[in-house]
Structure 1
Amino acid sequence: MESSPEAPKPTAKEIAAKFRAQITDGTYGPGSQLPAARGLAKELGVQLMTVQSAYGKLRDEGLALSQQGRGTFVRDPAVPLGTQSGSSPAFTALASELSVIHETLQKLDARLDRLERLVGHETPPSP
């Protein structure tokens, strides 16, 4: 995705689509570092914010992680969303909420098991 002076400059959406496709096809595998935003912006002839926005879209989709001072990396899909440093804040919050919900469901399941043992697995009358 190189840019010439007369070629239209890619949008953040187009840049994100290019990297999304390359992540999907394995060009960039889990843990791979995406090009430095500043260098890519210069190469493409776009503003730094355009590349940062594209990387932000990938992060929001759960495809990439950003680490301050290190860069943007392809997220390992085997690792639960929101648990890695550099995850999207939305995924981190969601992972935390899901953890609380999971714990609550486990407690309710245990209570239900105790109640069923106390009642002796009686089935309610049919309506």
Structure 2
Amino acid sequence: MVKNTGRPGYLQIADDLRAQIHGGSLAPGTPLPSTTRLAEQYGASLSVVKLAVGVLRTEGLVIGQQGKGVFVRDTAEQPPQAGGDPAGEVAELRAAVQDLSLRLAKVEQQLATSTTRRPGRSSR
């Protein structure tokens, strides 16, 4: 379940899935649950789950196979993890910008469709 901690939900989900991968409960070759199932499991939207999986892809922990799903990569195939990896930080920033862009687009759409005049007021 995503908690209201100030840390973005997609990073909370990515942290949990990463811990499962490193802990062995998601073994190499194991498919991740579907996006819909993860969204239900974490109480998050599909877009938030997709961002979380994107973070794991960028880190090289999972790999997508078109038409089959997303699978945990074999540790022998994973690139070495360096402390303070700038590429990982850039990936997180890109994911955060994408999330903010989606949220901004929704707000802009709501503003565009809302009425500017309130009912019951006259314009004298």
The TM-score, its normalising length taken from structure 1, stands at 0.53
Instruction: Give the % identical residues.
Output: 45
Partner Cα distance (1:21, 1:42) in 2: 19
Q: Deviations over 1:67-89 (max 9, x none)?
A: 222211100121365xxxxxxxx
Amino acid at match of 2:57: R
Partner Cα distance (1:80, 1:56) in 2: 15
Q: Does 1:11 align with 2:9?
A: yes
Q: Deviations over 1:8-44 (max 9, x none)?
A: 5970000000010010011111101111111211333
| Corresponding residue number in structure 1 for 2:33 | 35
| Corresponding residue number in structure 2 for 1:45 | 43
Partner Cα distance (1:80, 1:55) in 2: 16
Amino acid at match of 2:55: K
Higher Rg of the two aligned structures: 1
Structure 2, unpaired ranges of 5+: 80-86, 88-124
The TM-score, its normalising length taken from structure 2, stands at 0.54
* Structure having greater relative contact order (Cα 8 Å, sep ≥ 6): 2
| Corresponding residue number in structure 1 for 2:76 | 78
| Corresponding residue number in structure 1 for 2:98 | none
| Corresponding residue number in structure 1 for 2:19 | 21
Match of 1:58 among 56, 59, 75: 56
Structure 1, unpaired ranges of 5+: 82-89, 91-127
Q: Deviations over 1:94-124 (max 9, x none)?
A: xxxxxxxxxxxxxxxxxxxxxxxxxxxxxxx
Is residue 14–residue 52 contact of structure 2 (8 Å, CA) maintained in 1? Answer: yes
Amino acid at match of 2:27: G
Aligned residues: 78
Let me know the Cα RMSD of the aligned residues: 2.5
**4+ residue stretches of structure 1 with deviation over 2 A?**
7-10, 42-45
Relative distance call for 1:31 and 1:46 in structure 2 (3 A) is same
